[in-house]
Amino acid sequence: MPVADYNIYCEMLERARKGHYAYPAVNVTSLTSANAVLKGLAESKSDGIIQVSTGGGAFASGTSVKDMALGAISIAEHVHRAAERYPIYVALHTDHCQADKLDKLVIPLVEETERRRAVGRPNLFNSHMFDGSALPLRENLDIAVKLLERFRKNELILEIEADVVGGEEDGVKGEAGAKLYTTPEDTLEVARRLNSISGARYLLAATFGNVHGVYKPGHVKLKPSILRDCQDAVVKQYGEESRFYLVFHGGSGSELRDIHEALDYGVVKMNLDTDTQYAFTRPIVQHMFKNYDGVLRVDGEVGDKKAYDPRTYLTLAESGMAERVKKAVTELKGIGTTMFKA
């Protein structure tokens, strides 16, 4: 049962927090990219998280349909089947769904899970992110509380974001002048509101200078001590059982020492998108440059079918992305940490 159930997913998160490592949560848009994540995790002997964004789901459904929920369901159904062949656990998650898209992605997926549960089938997804970071905190949490109440009934974990990650990812922008640093006061309010729902589980994407996008190493200036201060405030006010499971967004360009410090303060999930997109694309480009006279019918020639067969270059793309996943597992100190036992 390599797609984690609720209890296994909760134990994964608990082990990561206690062990000071984190799971790569990799955005995928196709069966090939999902397979790359499974390959990279399995070769690292690490569990992990496959996630689908609003744009990724819309793309996966086809350019004529553009139904983000349909595309996410299609990818998830494939992962449920394919993951059975790999000796690791994987969780399924949706990424960065803002308030105006909840009815197009998260709610239909929760309804799908509810239908599955009603006939004794496992959950389709394990967790979903509501990104209310562009809203005032009170409004953000008002929506989050309602979602969490429904999630609790269906053994789903909610991820929320307090304040804004800078840059842009998948059409979600952190505008200039936005509040880019979470405060202890913010997290005390998060704990007060969400911890009131007994038995519910959630993840918090607190911001500490994170920026979405691609940057040279050292360009992004993080302040991991913000995470420590927020955790300390919440534990002091509400007790150790209120310590957060934290999520790291916008890791591209971050220094390894900052990533490791964040792990010490409770980061259990780190999102990957920009770097894995590049790792997927670069082998394709190299193949096209090297075999340009095979992929193109130059000067009336017929080209080389083996060169332009999509299976040829997508196999290279899968391997390239899998290698980047393996690098992420290493950086997040997750090598050999899988809970799966054959």
As annotated, the active-site residues are 95
Residue 132: HSE in the Cβ half-sphere, 13 Å Cα cutoff:
23
Strand, helix or coil for residue 123: coil
Cα–Cα distance measured from residue 32 to residue 75, given in angstroms and rounded to the nearest whole number: 10
Strand, helix or coil for residue 175: coil
Q: Which of 341, 340, 342, 339 is nearest to 18 (CA)?
A: 339
Cα–Cα distance measured from residue 263 to residue 21, given in angstroms and rounded to the nearest whole number: 6
Cα–Cα distance measured from residue 194 to residue 159, given in angstroms and rounded to the nearest whole number: 11
φ/ψ of 138, rounded to 5, equals -60, -45
Q: Which of 315, 87, 67 is nearest to 307 (CA)?
A: 315
Long-range contacts of 64-71 (CB under 8 A, 24+ apart): 68/101, 68/104, 68/105, 69/104, 69/105, 69/108, 69/109, 69/112
Q: Kindly give, in sequence order, each residue whose CB lies less than 8 Å from that of residue 82, ignoring residues fewer than 6 positions away.
A: 34, 35, 38
Query: Torsion angle of alpha carbons 20, 44, 36, 6, nearest 10°?
Result: -50
Element of type H or E holding 264: helix 256-264
φ/ψ of 2, rounded to 5, equals -65, -20
What tokens does 107 get? 């709610």
Let me know: does 27 contact 272? Beta carbons within 8 Å.
yes
